[in-house]
Structure 1
Amino acid sequence: MKIIRQIIVLFLMFFALNSYAQVRARLVVSEGPGRKDTIFRLTDGSQQSYLPVTVLKGRKEGPVFSMIAGIHGYEYPPIVALQELLKEIDINQLKGTLIVVPIANVEAFYNRTLFVNPLDGKNLNNAFPGAASGTITEQLAHCISNEIIDQTDFFLDIHGGDASEDLLPFVCYYDRKDIPEKTAQAKELSEKSGFDYVVSYPYTIGATEPAKYAFKQATQKGITALSIEAGKLGTVQPENVAVIKKAVYNMLIQLNMYEGKIKPVSSHKTPVYLNNQTYVKVPQKGIFYSEFKSGGKVKNGQILGYITDEFGNKLTEIVAPTSGIILYKVGTPPVNKDETLFCIGYNGG
Structure 2
Amino acid sequence: MTNKALSKSMITFDAPALQGWSFPVLDVVGKMPGPRLAVIAGVHVNETSSIEAAIRLQRGFNPETLKGRVSIMPIVNLPAVPNRSQYVCPLDNKNINFSFPGRAGGTFSEAVADALLNWAADADCFVDMHGGDLCENVSHFTVCQTVGDAAFDQRNMEIARCFDAELIVRLDPSHLKAPGRSCTGRATRKQHAAFSEAGRIGLMEEANVEFHYEGVLRIARYLGMIEQAPPPRRAPQIVSRYLWLEAPQSGFYRYRVEAGQRVDKGCVLAIAENTYGEVTGEVTAPEAGYVLWRLTHALVEGQTHIMGLGVPD
Q: Structure 2 length as normaliser, TM-score?
A: 0.91
Identity over aligned pairs, percent: 26
What is the CA deviation profile of residues 70-100 of structure 1, one whole-angstrom value per residue up to 9, with x for unaligned ones? 1111111000011111233221221112221
Q: Which amino acid aligns with 2:157?
A: K
Partner Cα distance (2:267, 2:161) in 1 = 31
| In the alignment, structure 1 residue 161 sits paired with structure 2 residue 128 | no
Within-5 A mapping of 1:83-102: 83-102=55-74
Distance 1:205 1:328, change over 3 A: closer
Distance 1:45 1:143, change over 3 A: closer
In 1, are the aligned partners of 2:101 and 2:186 still within 8 Å (CA)? no
Instruction: Tell me what 1:347 maps to.
Output: 312
Instruction: Tell me what 2:105 maps to.
Output: 133
Q: Which amino acid aligns with 1:243?
A: F
Q: Which amino acid aligns with 1:40?
A: T
In 2, are the aligned partners of 1:34 and 1:58 still within 8 Å (CA)? no
Within-5 A mapping of 1:49-64: 49-64=21-36
What is the CA deviation profile of residues 24-48 of structure 1, one whole-angstrom value per residue up to 9, with x for unaligned ones? xxxxxxx965424232267858984
Aligned counterpart for 1:229 among listed residues 197, 206, 226: 197
Q: Structure 1 length as normaliser, TM-score?
A: 0.82
Shift of 1:256: 0.9
Partner Cα distance (1:205, 1:296) in 2 = 25
Partner Cα distance (1:173, 1:46) in 2 = 29
Partner Cα distance (2:257, 2:293) in 1 = 10
In 1, are the aligned partners of 2:10 and 2:22 still within 8 Å (CA)? no
- Segments of structure 2 that go 5 or more residues without pairing to the other structure are none
Within-5 A mapping of 1:311-326: 311-326=276-291
In 1, are the aligned partners of 2:17 and 2:107 still within 8 Å (CA)? no
Shift of 1:315: 2.0
Within-5 A mapping of 1:180-199: 180-199=150-169
Shift of 1:49: 3.0
Secondary structure at the aligned position of 2:51 is classed as helix
Aligned counterpart for 2:231 among listed residues 264, 278, 283: 264
Structure number with greater Rg is: 1
Distance 1:63 1:294, change over 3 A: same
Distance 1:46 1:205, change over 3 A: closer
Partner Cα distance (2:38, 2:18) in 1 = 31
Q: Which moved more, 1:270-279 or 1:243-252?
A: 270-279
Within-5 A mapping of 1:1-349: 34-40=6-12, 48-148=20-120, 150-177=121-148, 179-205=149-175, 209-260=177-228, 262-266=229-233, 268=234, 270-348=235-313
In 2, are the aligned partners of 1:66 and 1:152 still within 8 Å (CA)? yes
Q: Which amino acid aligns with 1:234?
A: G
Q: Which moved more, 1:279-288 or 1:77-86?
A: 279-288
Alpha-carbon RMSD: 2.3
Secondary structure at the aligned position of 2:161 is classed as helix
Instruction: Tell me what 1:5 maps to.
Output: none
Shift of 1:242: 1.2
Distance 1:264 1:305, change over 3 A: same
Partner Cα distance (1:46, 1:99) in 2 = 20
Q: Which moved more, 1:225-234 or 1:108-117?
A: 108-117
Q: Which amino acid aligns with 1:333?
A: A
What is the CA deviation profile of residues 166-192 of structure 1, one whole-angstrom value per residue up to 9, with x for unaligned ones? 111112201221x32221112112223
What is the CA deviation profile of residues 143-168 of structure 1, one whole-angstrom value per residue up to 9, with x for unaligned ones? 112222x2222111111021111111
In 2, are the aligned partners of 1:194 and 1:250 still within 8 Å (CA)? no
Secondary structure at the aligned position of 2:230 is classed as coil
Distance 1:191 1:129, change over 3 A: closer
Larger proportion of helix: 1
Partner Cα distance (2:202, 2:86) in 1 = 9
Q: Which has the higher contact order (CA 8 A, sep 6+)?
A: 2
Shift of 1:54: 2.4
In 2, are the aligned partners of 1:75 and 1:162 still within 8 Å (CA)? yes
- Segments of structure 1 that go 5 or more residues without pairing to the other structure are 1-30
